[in-house]
Structure formats: C-alpha cells, structure tokens
Structure 1
C-alpha cells in the first residue's frame, strides 16, 4: 500500500466507499474507518499503520 488510492481500495474491499465532496472530511472518515477495521481485527497492524501514515500525509499536503 503506497497511495491514497490503495487505501481507498482497501476500504472498498470491506464495502466502504467514502466521498462527501470535502477532501478533509473524506480523509477524516477514512481514518475513522481504518481505525475501526483494525479494532475489529479485519486488517493487520502493518496495513493499519501504513494507511494512517498515508492519510495523515495527504491531510498535511492541503
């Protein structure tokens, strides 16, 4: 997993598609979903940390 697209595809594989039209809100919602997937043990610690890193980098770019 290297890009925001990869994070979106990970979420999509669990049936989650996030698009509100507000980029910051989208990134926040994606982070919440990633945290919930990890909490429920659907994704590995490596995927969790990588996804959070990507989302936070994208949030800081704006």
Structure 2
C-alpha cells in the first residue's frame, strides 16, 4: 500500500468505509479502525504497519495543508 486510496480499498475488504467529508477526520477514523483490526487479530503486522505509514503521512500532509505550510 502506497496511497490513502490503497488503504481505503484495503478497508473495504472488511466492510469499512471511512467517508466523513473532512480529510483529517477521515484519517483519524481510519487510524482508529486500523487499531481495531490489529487488536482483533484480523490483519497481519505487515498490513498494519503499511497502513499506519500511509495514514501517518497523510495526516501530516493534511495538517500542513490546513496550516498553510505547503
């Protein structure tokens, strides 16, 4: 997984759709969903860390965009 879209496709395999209309809020919700999948043992460590990396990057970019540092 390399993009936020890849993570969204990955989540859809589990019936998870995270659309709120606010990018930062969607990323936060995605992080919560990811943590839940990991805690339940549904996903592998590899999938978890790939998603976490993408979501962390996307969160950072969303914050920078909001603060105008781009």
The equivalent residue for 2:67 is none
Question: Rg larger in 1 or in 2?
Answer: 2
| Alignment TM-score, normalising by the size of structure 1 | 0.94
The equivalent residue for 2:24 is 24
The equivalent residue for 1:8 is 8
Aligned partners of 2:17 and 2:54: how far apart in 1? 17
Structure 1 position 3, deviation (Å) = 1.1
The equivalent residue for 1:38 is 38
Aligned partners of 2:4 and 2:30: how far apart in 1? 10
Equivalent residues, number = 62
Structure 2 stretches of 5 or more lacking a match?
63-70
| Alignment TM-score, normalising by the size of structure 2 | 0.84
